Amino acid sequence: MSKEVEHKRTYDISDIQKVIPHRYPFLLIDKVIDHIDNDRIVAIKNVTMNEQFFQGHFPGKPVMPGVLVLEAMAQACALLSVWSTDGVPPGSVLYLVGATDVKWKRQVVPGDTLRIEMKFVKKRRPLWMLAGEATVEGQLAASASISAYEGEPIDPKGA
């Protein structure tokens, strides 16, 4: 069963919000600068001092929590999985079910632009496996292999 997908190379925040259910303060992708159908995605997270997590992580030395860098990577995976031909049906959700080979190599701080590139490794529905890395100015910040499970659509009213 195929679905009609508009294949674009770039997406803005309104395109992103149509696809994944995350909202502030948990939406961690600002834009997508490249997308190759059924292959890879490159997403951007602009890190600012206004992020809520910097209030307590850490006072006087703000550092983006590594688990949120990993979450940004997972959100990029979800976007690639939905925007790919024969991908996740609109309205369905990908749930993060595994992360392996996770490595953090560089701190991410206010003012950084996090560039996230994720690629498909294997699709065996309802399981999706991707791998990639997050960089800042060409320096590796994090890398991971991510597994996600295709779940039922979420009721936007929370019922």
Return the active site residues: 57
By C-alpha distance, which of 132, 131, 129 is closest to 149? 129
Q: How far apart are CA 91 and CA 96, in angstroms?
A: 16
Tokens of 27: 């939406």
First to last CA, the chain: 29
DSSP for 69-85 reads HHHHHHHHHHHHHHHST
Name the residue type at position 54.
F
Distances (CA, A) of 106 to 37, 85, 90, 121: 30, 34, 35, 25
Distance of CA 145 to the CA centre of its chain: 12
Eight-class DSSP state of 11: B
Q: How far apart are CA 74 and CA 146, in angstroms?
A: 7
